[in-house]
């Protein structure tokens, strides 16, 4: 068939239109993907620890008003070899709301499961068609890692907390999660303090998960009376693998080759709600530690386990230390007294050749205790009066190192355990 001149022109024009149209479509698409601004602004965006950080991660955030269509999208980090957005997964968020002294709080929570260990993921959150900017999280590779540990962050204005947290993370950007040892805030029922705490940790929370521990100040009401700690428990969707009915108060998790077990030490504050708190936790801790096959075992408590007067085990210590001894726990971290101290190995109620070492973490906020003194079993002590401090926990297969650093990075103490 011979094409007429007119017909050829029409075909050519149609082809050109198709090419220009396709070009515009792909240009617009790539422009949209690359340039469209994130318009969703989640408040207090945070990662929260799960039992297995190699395969799962919890992400939470607050919203201005009730939102039923919120979601989280995640994908393996886009790099040169990987096709963009080919494997984006989307999960609906769980919306909750609760009353506080600052009004009703609207919150979203998602737990991502089925992740690959040792990978970097990108995630963003949103509602409807609005979305936030991409953030990243890394899954536990199962080997060496560094975690940051912060003692009491309770403060007047949380500026020191912000400085301590930001300094620590900027100097150890490879840190994979952080622990807050309790007394995160001064008054656990006052929402404005929680806003300040979140603001102080804003450089960490979207990047690495927090593993918090409840302290006595989480259990004080606005009238400074015992309070059941509901607000703390609402703000962190923590593992539910502790004793029944104590979700978020007692729980355990693994990171690398280390098993961490958290025990709630607020026996007095919680007596009217949980009169058998210590008995239930002792039973659970025994089973939890015995069941772990991890090389290193760490117990985390807010109140320390020794009497201030003479350094002998207090009632908490008498209840927990036999379990700690029987299960060959390596390190017990505490907080509450706002000073740093490290004991010699301690077993069966006294210093021993082998046994757990007890480390009082210090303070990351602005509250000090000048009256605190070293206990007889402590081989290192610092009042951390001039500036706050933090701890760095570095673990690999054969070594566990704990280093205490001042807010400005100055060395206070370091200890390495080998096995
Ligand atoms: Fe405390």
pLDDT (mean) for 260-264: 98
CA of 303 to the centre of ligand 1 (A): 6
> Residues 175, 252: one domain?
yes
Please give the pLDDT value at position 10: 57
Please determine, for residue 233, whether its predicted confidence score (pLDDT) is greater than 90: yes
> Residues 254, 359: one domain?
yes
> Residues 239, 258: one domain?
yes
> Residues 303, 348: one domain?
yes
Category of 198 on φ-ψ map: left (φ > 0), alpha (ψ -120 to 50) or beta:
alpha
CATH classification at residue 80:
2.60.40.10
Please give the pLDDT value at position 37: 78
pLDDT (mean) for 387-406: 96
CA of 29 to the centre of ligand 1 (A): 54
Distance, in Å, from the CA atom of 348 to the CA atom of 360, rounded to the nearest integer, reads 19
**Residue bearing the bigger pLDDT, 160 or 11:** 160
* DSSP alpha helix (H) spans, 293-410: 315-326
Please give the pLDDT value at position 6: 54
CA of 254 to the centre of ligand 1 (A): 25
CA of 218 to the centre of ligand 1 (A): 9
Q: Dump strand ranges (E) for 101-191.
A: 103-112, 120-127, 130-131, 135-138, 145-150, 177-180
**71 lies in a domain?**
yes
CA of 335 to the centre of ligand 1 (A): 7
| Contact residues for 77 (Cβ-Cβ < 8 A; gap 6+) | 119, 120, 121, 122, 136
Please give the pLDDT value at position 38: 86
Which residue reads 């480390």 in tokens? 359
State whether residue 115 is helix, strand or coil.
Answer: coil
**99 lies in a domain?**
no
CA of 113 to the centre of ligand 1 (A): 34
**382 lies in a domain?**
yes
CA of 56 to the centre of ligand 1 (A): 30
CA atoms within 13 A on the CB side of 88: 14
pLDDT (mean) for 394-418: 97
CA of 243 to the centre of ligand 1 (A): 22
Tens digits of residue pLDDT in 271-329: 999 999 999 999 999 999 999 999 999 999 999 999 998 999 999 999 999 999 999 99
Please determine, for residue 46, whether its predicted confidence score (pLDDT) is greater than 50: yes
**3 lies in a domain?**
yes
Please give the pLDDT value at position 26: 44
Please determine, for residue 109, whether its predicted confidence score (pLDDT) is greater than 60: yes
**163 lies in a domain?**
yes
Please determine, for residue 106, whether its predicted confidence score (pLDDT) is greater than 80: yes
CA of 227 to the centre of ligand 1 (A): 14
CA atoms within 13 A on the CB side of 115: 27
Please give the pLDDT value at position 16: 57
CA of 281 to the centre of ligand 1 (A): 19
> Residues 24, 157: one domain?
no
CA of 184 to the centre of ligand 1 (A): 9
Give the pLDDT band of residue 87 (cuts 50, 70, 90): confident
Strands 120-127 and 70-76: antiparallel
> Residues 277, 345: one domain?
yes
Domain span at residue 3 reads 1-36
CA of 185 to the centre of ligand 1 (A): 10
Tens digits of residue pLDDT in 365-379: 999 999 899 999 999
**Residue bearing the bigger pLDDT, 12 or 394:** 394
CA of 149 to the centre of ligand 1 (A): 15
Are residues 62 and 105 in contact, defined by beta-carbon separation less than 8 angstroms? yes
Please determine, for residue 23, whether its predicted confidence score (pLDDT) is greater than 60: no
For residue 385, what is the DSSP state? -
Distance, in Å, from the CA atom of 148 to the CA atom of 171, rounded to the nearest integer, reads 11
The residue length of the chain stands at: 419
Please determine, for residue 340, whether its predicted confidence score (pLDDT) is greater than 50: yes
> Residues 207, 285: one domain?
yes
């Amino acid at each position: 068939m011979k094409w007429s001149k007119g017909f050829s022109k029409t075909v050519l024009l149609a082809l050109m239109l198709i090419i220009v149209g396709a070009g515009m479509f792909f240009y617009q698409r790539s422009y949209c993907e690359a340039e469209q601004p994130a318009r969703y602004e989640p408040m207090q965006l945070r990662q929260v620890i799960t039992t297995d950080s190699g395969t799962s991660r919890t992400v939470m955030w607050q919203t201005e008003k009730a939102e039923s269509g919120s979601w989280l999208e995640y994908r393996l980090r886009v790099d040169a070899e990987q096709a963009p957005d080919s494997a984006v997964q989307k999960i609906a968020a769980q919306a909750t709301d609760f009353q506080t002294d600052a009004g009703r709080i609207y919150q979203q929570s998602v737990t991502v499961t089925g992740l690959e260990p040792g990978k970097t993921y990108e995630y963003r959150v949103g509602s409807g068609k609005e979305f936030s900017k991409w953030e990243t999280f890394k899954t536990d590779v199962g080997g060496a890692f560094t975690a940051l540990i912060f003692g009491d962050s309770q403060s007047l204005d949380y500026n020191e907390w912000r400085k301590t947290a930001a300094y620590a993370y900027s100097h150890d950007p490879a840190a994979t999660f952080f622990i807050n040892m309790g007394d995160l805030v001064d008054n656990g029922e006052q929402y404005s303090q929680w806003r300040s705490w979140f603001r102080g940790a804003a450089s960490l929370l979207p990047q690495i998960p927090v593993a918090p521990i409840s302290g006595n100040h989480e259990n004080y009401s606005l009238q400074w009376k015992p309070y059941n700690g509901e607000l703390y428990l609402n703000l962190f969707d923590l593992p539910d693998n502790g004793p029944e009915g104590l979700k978020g108060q007692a729980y355990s998790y693994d990171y690398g080759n280390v098993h961490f077990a958290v025990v709630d030490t607020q026996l007095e504050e919680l007596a009217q709600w949980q009169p058998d708190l210590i008995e239930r936790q002792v039973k659970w801790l025994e089973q939890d530690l015995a069941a772990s096959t991890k090389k290193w075992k760490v117990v985390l408590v807010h109140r320390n386990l020794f009497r201030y007067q003479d350094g002998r085990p207090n009632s908490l210590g008498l209840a927990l230390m036999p379990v700690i001894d029987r299960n060959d726990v390596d390190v017990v971290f505490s907080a509450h007294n706002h000073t740093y101290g490290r004991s010699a190995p301690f077993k069966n109620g006294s210093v021993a050749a082998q046994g757990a070492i007890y480390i009082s973490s210090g303070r990351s906020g602005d509250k000090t205790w000048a009256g605190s003194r070293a206990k007889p079993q402590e081989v290192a002590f610092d009042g951390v009066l001039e500036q706050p401090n933090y701890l760095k926990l570095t673990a690999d297969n054969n070594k566990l190192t704990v280093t205490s650093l001042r807010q400005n990075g100055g060395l206070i103490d370091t200890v390495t355990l080998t096995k």
